[in-house]
Structure formats: C-alpha cells, structure tokens
Structure 1
Amino acid sequence: MGILRKGVFDGFEGKTGPLVGRKVNGKSVISAAQHKTTKPRIQAQIDQQLKFALVTNFLKRFKRLIAVGFANVKHRNAFNAAVKYNFRNIIRGVSPDYSIDYSKLVYSRGCLAGAYSPSVTVGSDKLIISWLPHAQSQLNQHSDKASFLVYCPDKQLTVILERAVNRAALQFELELPVGLMGLPLHVYMSFVSINGKEVSNSMYLGIF
C-alpha cells in the first residue's frame, strides 16, 4: 500500500483495475484490490463466525439498555463495545453447538455502585426486586435510577424497564406479561445517574 502525495494518481478514489484509491485522514491512499479466495474456510474461522452471529443476534434484544450502559466506552460504538466484551465471556459449549450463558450477560459497565444485596421474590404475576440501603457517596446516590431486564428463553421474550425507580426506593414490583409465570426467567438490574452520564455494572440476579 502506498500513500500518494503527488503525481498523476494524487486524489484518486475508487477502483481501477487491480488498484483501489481512498482518502484516509485527508491523505490519498492506494492499495491492491481484494480478491475472493477459493480456499475452504478453516474450522476456526467457521467457529468464530458462529459465535459472532450468536452473540450479536442475542444482544440486539437489549440495544436500548446497551446504548446507555456502554455509552462511555472510548473510541467504540456502544453496541460494538458490548459485543466485544460479551463475546469473550458469554459463550459456552463446543462447536458447532454453542449457546449463551445467560448468567454472564453484561449490558452495562460503569463506575456507579450496583445494588447492595439484591433479592427477588416471585409473586402471582410479578417479580418483587429488593435491595438494601447503603451509605451515600459520589458513586451511590439516592437519586440514581434503577433499570431492570427480564429475559425468557422459552419464549425469546424480553421485558425492559428503564430508569423505573430511584435507588432510595429499595424495591420495585415488576409486573410480567401474561404467560410468563412458571417459565424460567433470567433477571438483571443496573443503575444510571440522574443526569444519565454514569452507569453501574449490570447485575445478574438469578433465574426464577
């Protein structure tokens, strides 16, 4: 690859013959055109593609939460940052039978304090999510807002409640859609500061 500073090709963009020209940081850059390979993909490449597709398709369900929870990652789109982080942690199984370890899902990463000693009680048509009080600090304010996520693998159904209640409330009653009670439900929660600039790590509260 050559960077063209002067000459007849200066400013050349697009493809011509075996060459491709483009602008990178204001400079004209030329490189060889890529060619389709006829070589069969090795198993490692196939496995990577299977894992990547599995993670991205799963995380798309939680884009609203990820847009806030990974917003502070530098030099990376929030969703791409979430894919990169979860890709390393969330996959289980062996090729080609990969699956998601729901307990490892992380949709938010930040420096706010998480819920202190959270617990979940199952009601007739709702989940009662509680946590204990903890001393206020710069990263633990009564005004922080709690968000909740419930995922039902059997129905592939997601329930999301964003900024549903203040940290000081110490409890939230999460009403469930009809038909979810009695099915396995994975429950998560996180906090976001009142100005929306800081978030906590999301917490997996268990399966109920």
Structure 2
Amino acid sequence: MAICSVGPYGHPSGKIGNVVFYMLNGQPVCRMKGKPGKPSIKQLGNRQAMAVTMDLVAPMADFINISFKQEAEGTVKNPHNLAVSYNKKGALTGEYPNIKVDYSKVILSRGELEMVSDLKISKGEDGINLSWNTDISENGSYDDLLMVLVNHPTKKRASSYLNAAKRADGSCFIPVSQEWMMREQMEIYVCLRSSNEKSITDSVYAGNLNGEPDSPMEKAAKIHYNATKARFDRVAADYHKQRMDDWEGALERKAFRHLEKEYHVLRDKLLHLPGKPS
C-alpha cells in the first residue's frame, strides 16, 4: 500500500507492486524491492511466536468477540487484535524453536467488574462441573453472566459457553457432547460480564483437565531413552552371564573388555538421559 501525502498526484509513500517509495534526506526516492535476506534468530522467534499465538486464539473467535468487545469499541483495534496482542506478549514461554503456550497465563478478557472467588472445576461423567463463591464485595451484580471457554489444544478447537450461568447460581455444569473431548487435554477459562454488556471481569484460568501431552521434544527424548534402555538390558544380561560363567579365561579376552566398557558407558548414560519415566 502507498500513501500520497500531497494530493492524488503527489509523491507516494510505501510499496506499489515491487517498487518502494520513501523520502531520503528530504528527497523522494523509489527503488525496487530487494530480495529478503536470511532471517535472524530473533526474526524466526517472532514468526514462531505469532504462529503459536494465532493457533491459540483462532478457535476462540466466538468467545473473544464478546469478551473483548467493550475494550475494542472506540479504538482502531478489534477483539482479535487485542487477543493476539495480550497473549503474544504474556502467554508464551520458551525460546525459538521451542516457543509454546503457558495456558495458565492466557488472557481472554480485561475489565473492572469483580470476579468470583474460590473457583473450582472437576470432571464429571459427561461434562465439567464448576463452582464458585457468590459473595460480592465491590462492583458486581448477582445477575452477572458467567462465560466459560473450554480449549482443546491437541485438536485446535475451543468450545464457548457465553451464558453458562449467573453469578448468583454458585455452580454450573458444562455438558461435553463428544467422547473424545472427555479424554483430551482441556484448558478452562472463565469471566463474567454484566447483564447490560457494559462491563466485564478479567478472565481467570480455571485449570486443566486430563493433563498436557508430551511435546515433540519430550516424545523424542522418551523414544531415545527407551531405545538406549533396551540396548543396555541386552548388554547387561550378556555381561553378567559371562562374568558368572568365566569359561576358559573369557574375562581376559578383548571381546569381554569391549562388552564391559559398553555396559558401563550405557549404565552411566542412562543416569542422566532425559525421557526417563517418572
């Protein structure tokens, strides 16, 4: 996009096709767009951070269109922009190439309304139970509406419940219709909005159900550990058998010395190798 600052026939500023227009020392300049060089580690990290953030918020559109609606009004930003900005800055952990989401730090709303306290979750037979303290000490109403988002990261899906209950109810049940949802990782978030939709609470991370699956690196570490352990078990069995037999001075032979060295190397390696079962 290019910008003409002095009328329809003025000097453009920006990019038109493969040509870039700009001012240099007060002089209008244009040049062909150059080929991008090799990206730096910082650039690669920023790209991965954006990709991870987009994967996080994309399934949450129904929820964040309501939860960030009030904050976005009167600005040039939309609810999606706000969700991306908050979570790219505050909800990611790790360094490139291992940037991932810290689900406990995800932000899905910002506001001044009073949040409930003593929020608890548990998994029922075919859904999720939530409970909370209904007391109000500052700005809130018993008619405030509870919004619940259940994120399913392994499936890149999210389920929004925009009117799950009222503050005064103190508890609610979120039905989970599909069987796979009850087995997969679930990250649960809650906020309350006023009945007139003029105010909202900060979102709260209610917790995780079903745990978090291993990352690709963790899976690879476990595979490597198991392969090393299997090799060690075979070597250890052969090593101990030969030590017990000691037929015709076998322990003095070169083959046994190699076997003994491998036994000790593998044993020491397993002590410090990641991927060991907890």
- Report if TM-score (shorter chain) is over 0.5: yes
The count of aligned residue pairs is 197
SS of structure 2 residue aligned to 1:131: strand
- The answer to whether 1:171 aligns with 2:171 is yes
> Aligned equivalents of 1:156 and 1:16: distance in 2?
35
Residues 111-190 of structure 1 aligned to structure 2 (within 5 Å):
111-135=112-136, 137=138, 139-179=139-179, 180-190=181-191
Compare the two structures and name the one with the higher helix fraction.
Answer: 2
Q: What is the aligned-residue RMSD (CA, Å)?
A: 2.9
> Aligned equivalents of 1:82 and 1:99: distance in 2?
16
SS of structure 1 residue aligned to 2:90: coil
By how many angstroms is 1:32 displaced? 3.9
Deviations 1:40-89 (A, max 9, x none): 22121111011111101220111121112222144422211111111111
- The answer to whether 1:70 aligns with 2:72 is no
By how many angstroms is 1:116 displaced? 1.5
Structure 1 residues 105 and 11, CA gap change in structure 2 (3 angstroms)? same
Residues 18-37 of structure 1 aligned to structure 2 (within 5 Å):
32=30, 35-37=33-35
Unaligned runs of 5+ in 2: 23-27, 210-278
By how many angstroms is 1:154 displaced? 3.3
Structure 1 residues 78 and 154, CA gap change in structure 2 (3 angstroms)? closer
Aligned-pair identity (%): 20
Structure 1 residues 154 and 76, CA gap change in structure 2 (3 angstroms)? closer
Compare the two structures and name the one with the higher strand fraction.
Answer: 1
SS of structure 2 residue aligned to 1:39: coil
Structure 1 residues 3 and 203, CA gap change in structure 2 (3 angstroms)? same
Question: Do the aligned residues in 2 keep the contact of 1:15 with 1:33 (CA within 8 Å)?
Answer: no
Residues 82-93 of structure 1 aligned to structure 2 (within 5 Å):
82-93=83-94
Choose 1 or 2 for highest CA Rg: 2
Deviations 1:18-56 (A, max 9, x none): 5759xxxxxxxx774661334222121111011111101
Structure showing greater relative contact order (alpha-carbon pairs closer than 8 Å, 6 or more residues apart): 1
By how many angstroms is 1:201 displaced? 0.9
In structure 1, what residue type is equivalent to 2:95? V
